[in-house]
Chain A
């Protein structure tokens, strides 16, 4: 579904991505692992159109999407849940969710998506008239993912969904993410600091080091890799 080819990108004079190559098969869950500053967030930002690469290609369904503005990519089904969730604090939970469906007409089918989100995350339904800023961290992450789901995506990018959340909440969250993949057929690419958790959830994983992929393959293989064990799993 997605192929990244020889990608270079950065900020000002700093090059963060240095010849990135990887693929995300349709219907899969893929994890991006790596230390701080390896370029994980930058990779997601390039794919979703938030950052223009200096070189290389991002192929989506066989077509290049480099240079398209972020809002145009949402229409094509690529939806990015950014680091730090970026909930609209001054809007209600329901307004946040409806904005996720900005590219669709607000009709009966959008209504159905809304009910689906509430079914996945019942706590959002309870709080639907509350302002987004009053939610807890876990609820905000649910809202961010629910909001992305409202766009009717085919390809979801999640940037550290577990950041700052309690372990029980993190488990609950990843259960919902796996369900979205299985039940809705969503392809998911996510960034995660917790490598053990990421390898449990994902079918494939790539390891990023200073701007390029040093290792990649099925999660089961990576779990057995000595280098991954030592550096990322800590045993």
Chain B
């Protein structure tokens, strides 16, 4: 039982990162109607900037400056690039997303080199003991930071004028414009926020998965699955989806190899990670087959 509890807790902790990244994808999807597959690489690039800064300054100043720079990069991209494909068919935006993927992947490699780097890990020390359950100290750190970031985002979206205007712009841009909301500036803000949250998620996982140019690919895939599971138009759904995916991934990785061994199948996969990835695709398929609008998404079909 304790091992199970431990695995669930660890899963919830990595789940917050997937949830955070799912939030980023949903934010962009809602406001720009685009799945930005370049988001992970943008976040990785900002993480490199954070890494470079942390050579000079302590963890928190480096972390915060990198997050702010990520915000500026996101806002500038919206202004300079995304605005050009706003009224174009969705494929144009998709291609731009792939372009962003390649550009930022190459930039990271060209500037910082392909070899992995170790990212500073704050709050190290012996793990916490909760009865027989062990909690890795840095996992708890990830969990708490992600939680605080989500709480701040929620408060911003619900209680501030700018946050409510941002949600309105995502829902109906023309109507928002009629309220006097400068919607093009709102979309810039949305892209900036998304890039910043993405960078925070990336800097949180960087010590665990080691900083390298392609490190966010898996987080992007898990975050995407979490967003689809939660419903692509629901911010709370993204967080819940992230937590579910985190726990599932952990349980499958730990328990499924034993189950498969017991079945004496004619093939042999000893690596739990492979089950983990298969489970992800299975979840994606099941959601798309039986609940395409996700757990919290709207199922309405609108007449255009």
What 0/1 readout, one digit per residue, does chain A (143-174) give for beta carbons within 8 Å of chain B? 00001000100000000000000000000000
Q: Is the CB of A100 within 8 A of B179?
A: yes
Q: Of A89-97, A184-192, A196-204, which binds chain B?
A: A89-97
Q: Is the CB of B174 within 8 A of A75?
A: no
A-B contact count (CB 8 A): 63
Contact A86-B180, Cβ < 8 Å, known A99-B165, A102-B161, A106-B161: no
Bound Cα distance from A79 to B175, whole angstroms:
11
Q: Is the CB of A70 within 8 A of B168?
A: no
The chain A residue with its CB closest to the CB of B30 is A90
A50: which of B167, B171, B177, B180 is its contact (CB, 8 Å)?
B177
Q: Does A74 count as interface, using CB distance less than 8 angstroms?
A: yes
Q: Is the CB of A99 within 8 A of B181?
A: yes
What 0/1 readout, one digit per residue, does chain A (78-120) give for beta carbons within 8 Å of chain B? 0110100011111100010011101100100000000000000
Q: Is the CB of B182 within 8 A of A88?
A: no
Residues of chain B contacted by A72 (CB below 8 angstroms)? 180
Q: Is the CB of B177 within 8 A of A88?
A: no
Q: Is the CB of A69 within 8 A of B177?
A: yes
A71: which of B164, B172, B177 is its contact (CB, 8 Å)?
B177
Q: Is the CB of A102 within 8 A of B180?
A: yes
Q: Does B47 count as interface, using CB distance less than 8 angstroms?
A: no
Q: Does A57 count as interface, using CB distance less than 8 angstroms?
A: no
- Which range contains the number of A residues in contact with the other chain? 20 to 34
Residues of chain B contacted by A91 (CB below 8 angstroms)? 164, 167-168, 171
B177: which of A70, A89, A100, A106 is its contact (CB, 8 Å)?
A70
The interface residues of chain B, by DSSP majority, are classed as: helix
B299 to chain A, nearest CB (A): 13
Q: Does B183 count as interface, using CB distance less than 8 angstroms?
A: yes
Q: A residues 36-75 with Cβ under 8 Å of B?
A: 48, 50, 69-72, 74-75
Residues of chain A contacted by B182 (CB below 8 angstroms)? 69, 71
Bound Cα distance from A90 to B297, whole angstroms:
12
Q: Is the CB of A71 within 8 A of B180?
A: yes
What 0/1 readout, one digit per residue, does chain B (173-192) give for beta carbons within 8 Å of chain A? 01111111111000000000
Contact A90-B171, Cβ < 8 Å, known A99-B164, A99-B165, A102-B165: yes
Q: Is the CB of A103 within 8 A of B175?
A: no
B26 to chain A, nearest CB (A): 13
B64 to chain A, nearest CB (A): 29
Bound Cα distance from A71 to B179, whole angstroms:
7
Q: B residues 92-109 with Cβ under 8 Å of A?
A: none
The chain A residue with its CB closest to the CB of B298 is A90
Bound Cα distance from A219 to B183, whole angstroms:
39
A2 to chain B, nearest CB (A): 17
Bound Cα distance from A71 to B169, whole angstroms:
12
The chain A residue with its CB closest to the CB of B181 is A102
Contact A88-B180, Cβ < 8 Å, known A95-B164, A98-B164, A99-B164: no
Chain A CB count within 10 A is highest, among B164, B167, B172, B183, for B164
Residues of chain A contacted by B183 (CB below 8 angstroms)? 71
Residues of chain A contacted by B164 (CB below 8 angstroms)? 91, 95, 98-99
A90: which of B165, B167, B177 is its contact (CB, 8 Å)?
B167
B178: which of A75, A79, A90 is its contact (CB, 8 Å)?
A79
Contact A86-B172, Cβ < 8 Å, known A71-B181, A74-B179, A151-B180: yes
What 0/1 readout, one digit per residue, does chain B (147-179) give for beta carbons within 8 Å of chain A? 000000000000001001101100110111111
Residues of chain A contacted by B168 (CB below 8 angstroms)? 88, 91, 99
Q: Is the CB of A80 within 8 A of B178?
A: yes
B303 to chain A, nearest CB (A): 11
Bound Cα distance from A151 to B171, whole angstroms:
20
23 A-B contacts (beta carbon < 8 Å):
A48-B178, A69-B177, A69-B182, A71-B178, A71-B179, A71-B180, A71-B181, A71-B182, A74-B180, A80-B178, A82-B174, A82-B175, A82-B178, A88-B167, A88-B171, A91-B168, A91-B171, A99-B181, A102-B161, A102-B179, A103-B180, A147-B179, A151-B179
Besides A71-B181, A102-B179, 4 other A-B contacts (C-beta < 8 A): A50-B174, A86-B175, A87-B175, A102-B165
Chain B residues with a Cβ under 8 A of chain A: 161, 164-165, 167-168, 171-172, 174-183
